[in-house]
Structures are given as structure tokens and as C-alpha cells.
Amino acid sequence: MARNIHVVPHNNKWAIKKENSKSVVSIHNLKSIADKKARILAKKYKVELIIHRKDGVIQDKDSFGNDPYPPKDTVF
């Protein structure tokens, strides 16, 4: 099973990491660049993307895989 992808602060830059891994996939000067590249990886591996704020708190999540709790569509 593939591991989720995280965008986390890393020495005044932004790192892309796989969940439960100490190693970094890549490091970027801008959060927006890290986000774009992390989305590509999350889509490729069909996993969840977790974006963190500068203080490390989770800011946003996007699921690109088999979401066990997909949103329910509203029928009008």
C-alpha cells in the first residue's frame, strides 16, 4: 500500500515527504511549488495529500485514492 504524501515546513523551505518516513522526497523554496509537485505524486499513487501550515498544523487535505468516506452528492 502506498503512503500518503505530506507537504511540511523544512528549514525555512517546504518539503514533500511520504507518511511515516524520515527521508524527504524533495525540498522547495515556495510552498506553492511543493504543493503542485506533491499533488502530482498523490494522483500518481492514488493516496491522500496532506498540506501543513508553517507551524506544522494540518491546513488542508485532498484524497486522490479510494476514499473510504466520499462526500455524498445532493440531488436536487
C-alpha cell read off for 30:
515556495
- Give me the half-sphere count of Cα atoms (radius 13 Å) on the Cβ side of residue 5: 26
C-alpha cell read off for 24:
524527504
In a domain, residue 39? The reply is yes
Residue 61 is part of which domain span?
1-14+29-65
In a domain, residue 4? The reply is yes
Distance CA 24, CA 59 (A): 19
Distance CA 12, CA 47 (A): 26
In a domain, residue 22? The reply is no
Asked if residue 6 has pLDDT above 50, the reply is yes
Distance in Å from the first CA to the final CA of the chain: 37
In a domain, residue 76? The reply is no
In a domain, residue 51? The reply is yes
pLDDT, position 74: 55
Q: What is the number of structural domains in the chain? A: 1
In a domain, residue 6? The reply is yes
pLDDT tens-digit series, residues 27-57: 999 999 999 999 999 999 999 999 999 999 9
Confidence of residue 64 (pLDDT cuts 50, 70, 90): confident
In a domain, residue 9? The reply is yes
